[in-house]
């Protein structure tokens, strides 16, 4: 961007198969914010940049 920031978009998709897949999704879904937030901060750290904001959920 003109202000020197970079926008990073990451998309995660999961198509559950049957009841076991739905149960798995129900168990791990609440932790996704922590996982993706940690990933975002790790990418910023590796790039030598601070994370300005995020992550945000975007519904497509």
How many structural domains is the chain composed of? 1
- Cα 57 to Cα 2, 8, 13, 22: the distances in Å are 24, 13, 13, 20
Tokens, residue 37: 């937030």
Question: d(Cα 28, Cα 50) in Å, to the nearest integer?
Answer: 27
pLDDT tens for 5-58 read 888 888 888 899 999 999 999 999 888 888 888 888 898 889 888 888 777 777
3-class secondary-structure state, position 60: coil
Residue 5 resides in a domain: no
Confidence (pLDDT) at 3: 78
Cis before 59? omega within 30? no
Residue 23 resides in a domain: no
- Cα 38 to Cα 4, 26, 30: the distances in Å are 22, 20, 14
């Amino acid at each position: 961007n003109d202000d020197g920031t970079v926008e990073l978009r990451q998309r995660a998709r999961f198509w559950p198969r049957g009841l076991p897949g739905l149960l798995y999704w129900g168990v791990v879904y609440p932790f996704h914010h922590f996982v993706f937030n940690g990933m975002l901060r790790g990418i910023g750290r590796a790039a030598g940049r601070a994370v300005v904001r995020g992550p945000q959920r975007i519904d497509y």
